[in-house]
């Protein structure tokens, strides 16, 4: 079981994780966080569950959440326009990747828009959901799922070749409280950069870990498939693909998946 007191001792953030709500089991930490946000929870409130029975990916895909993982959601209330909300996904990916690199001393890769990988296998997924008031953001829920302390066999067979867990990679369990503490700290640092409109400096970090850039990829977006070379991401976080005819196409997150060829 994750012990919240152990996270809070030595947590040095200003606002991320100052309030943590812990549940042995939830349908989805994002769903609970959304409800908490509607009821007025403060920015930085974190919801953690030991297991989720209806963990969600994008477009309501199922996210498997066995015991031993790190399944959490962070409530944010940035004063930004709706179209900037997707930048928080990239911000979160950098925070997760930095944390895993620091805590586990492994090479960590980021795949646009919301995957964190080790040795090309998905170890973490991020689900960002915004609620709007007029055209500005009322709250953003950042859901982070890290496959931490469970064997790969705890996931269904069809995911066992594309996913991995920290326990598989390291051959031992990690200290989840320390991992979460580090994650909340990194998250606050990068979120502050984002709020200070220093997204460009955050993108420098992001690019360093995005080793699919420069490679041939296949992009699937709302059922449409096309191939090209992943060039870069622009200042808004959109992915730029050079198509075979030389045209440069920008893709925005949503239902996009990128497969390195
Ligand atoms: C994601 O969606 O990768 C976002 C996952 C976010 C999960 C967190 S956990 C805490 C919070 N509460 C929630 O309810 N959700 C968030 P997407 O890019 O759509 O990828 C989903 C796909 O990943 C699935 O269709 C599976 O193919 C695969 N998948 C499911 N569970 C997985 C797991 N544990 N590890 C690796 N891949 C998984």
**Each residue's pLDDT tens digit, 1-13:** 999 999 999 999 9
Q: How far is the centre of ligand 1, averaged over its atoms, from the C-alpha of 115 (Å)?
A: 9
User: Which residue minimizes the CA distance to atom 16 of ligand 1?
Assistant: 143
- Regarding the beta carbon of 82 and ligand 1, being less than 6 Å apart is answered no
**Each residue's pLDDT tens digit, 61-100:** 999 999 999 999 999 999 998 888 889 999 999 999 999 9
- Regarding the beta carbon of 8 and ligand 1, being less than 6 Å apart is answered no
Residue 207 has pLDDT above 70, yes or no: yes
Q: Could you tell me if 51 and 25 are in contact, meaning their C-beta atoms sit under 8 angstroms apart?
A: yes
- What percentage of the chain has pLDDT greater than the value 90? 82
Q: Could you tell me if 68 and 52 are in contact, meaning their C-beta atoms sit under 8 angstroms apart?
A: no
**Each residue's pLDDT tens digit, 26-73:** 999 999 999 999 999 999 999 999 999 999 999 889 999 999 999 999
3-class SS letters over the chain: CCCHHHHHCCCCCCCCCCCEEEEEEECCHHHHHHHHHHCCCCCCCEEEEEEECCCECHHHCECCCCCCCEEEEEEECCCCEHHHCCHHHHHHHHHHHHHHHHHHCCCCEEECCCEEEECCEEEEEEEEEEEEECCEEEEEEEEEEECCCCCHHHCCHHHCCCECCHHHHHCCCCCHHHHHHHHHHHHHHHHHHHHCCCHHHHHHHHHHHCCCCCCEEEEEECCEEEEEEEEEECCCCCEEEEECCCCEEEECCCCEEEEEC
- Give me the mean pLDDT over the 224-252 stretch: 92
Q: How far is the centre of ligand 1, averaged over its atoms, from the C-alpha of 188 (Å)?
A: 23
Angle made by CA atoms 182, 127, 191, in degrees to the nearest 5: 45
**Each residue's pLDDT tens digit, 144-166:** 999 999 999 999 999 999 999 99
Best residue for ligand 1 mutational test, from 20, 31, 52, 57 (most atoms within 8 Å of Cβ)? 57
Helix 87-104 vs helix 176-195: crossing angle, to nearest 10: 140
Confidence band, pLDDT 50/70/90 cuts, at residue 254: low
Best residue for ligand 1 mutational test, from 27, 31, 49, 63 (most atoms within 8 Å of Cβ)? 63
Contacts of residue 191, Cβ cutoff 8 Å, sequence gap at least 6: 16, 76, 88, 91, 95
Q: How far is the centre of ligand 1, averaged over its atoms, from the C-alpha of 67 (Å)?
A: 15
Residue 17 has pLDDT above 80, yes or no: yes
- Give me the mean pLDDT over the 208-228 stretch: 90
Confidence at residue 96, expressed as pLDDT on a 0 to 100 scale: 98
Confidence at residue 18, expressed as pLDDT on a 0 to 100 scale: 97
Q: Could you tell me if 239 and 230 are in contact, meaning their C-beta atoms sit under 8 angstroms apart?
A: yes
- Regarding the beta carbon of 150 and ligand 1, being less than 6 Å apart is answered no
- Regarding the beta carbon of 36 and ligand 1, being less than 6 Å apart is answered no
Distance CA 7, CA 85 (A): 28
Confidence at residue 213, expressed as pLDDT on a 0 to 100 scale: 93
Q: How far is the centre of ligand 1, averaged over its atoms, from the C-alpha of 127 (Å)?
A: 8
Q: How far is the centre of ligand 1, averaged over its atoms, from the C-alpha of 161 (Å)?
A: 15
Confidence at residue 230, expressed as pLDDT on a 0 to 100 scale: 94
Q: What distances in angstroms separate CA 50 from CA 47, 146, 148, one per listed residue?
A: 10, 12, 11
Contacts of residue 108, Cβ cutoff 8 Å, sequence gap at least 6: 97, 100, 101, 116, 117, 118, 123, 209
Distance CA 238, CA 242 (A): 13
- Regarding the beta carbon of 61 and ligand 1, being less than 6 Å apart is answered yes
Residue 196 has pLDDT above 70, yes or no: yes
From the CA of 28, give the closest atom in ligand 1.
14
Confidence at residue 135, expressed as pLDDT on a 0 to 100 scale: 81
Q: List the single range of 63-67, 70-74, 112-116, 139-143 with lowest mean pLDDT.
A: 112-116
Mean pLDDT of the chain: 94
């Amino acid at each position: 079981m994750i012990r919240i007191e152990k996270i809070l001792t030595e947590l040095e953030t200003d606002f991320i994780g100052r309030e943590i709500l812990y549940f042995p089991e939830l349908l989805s930490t994002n769903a609970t966080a959304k409800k908490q946000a509607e009821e007025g929870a403060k920015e930085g409130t974190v919801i953690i569950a030991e297991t989720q029975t209806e963990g969600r990916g994008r477009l309501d895909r199922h996210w498997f959440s066995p015991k031993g993982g790190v399944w959490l959601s962070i409530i944010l209330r940035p004063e930004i326009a709706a179209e900037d909300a997707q930048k928080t996904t990239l911000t979160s990916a950098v925070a997760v990747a930095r944390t895993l690199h620091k805590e586990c001393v492994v090479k960590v890769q980021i795949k646009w828009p919301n995957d964190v990988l080790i040795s090309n296998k998905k170890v973490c997924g991020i689900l960002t959901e915004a609620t709007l008031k007029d055209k500005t953001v009322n709250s953003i829920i950042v859901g982070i799922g890290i496959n931490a302390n469970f064997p790969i066999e705890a996931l269904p067979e069809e995911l066992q070749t594309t996913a991995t867990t920290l326990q598989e990679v390291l051959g031992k369990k990690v200290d989840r409280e320390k991992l979460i503490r580090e994650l909340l700290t990194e998250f606050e640092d990068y979120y502050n950069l984002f709020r200070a409109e220093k997204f460009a400096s955050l993108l420098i970090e992001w690019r360093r870990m995005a080793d699919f850039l420069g490679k041939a990829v296949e992009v699937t977006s709302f059922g449409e498939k096309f191939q090209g070379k992943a060039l870069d991401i622009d200042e808004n976080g959109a992915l730029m693909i050079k198509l075979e005819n030389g045209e440069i196409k920008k893709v925005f997150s949503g239902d996009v998946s990128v497969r390195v060829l």
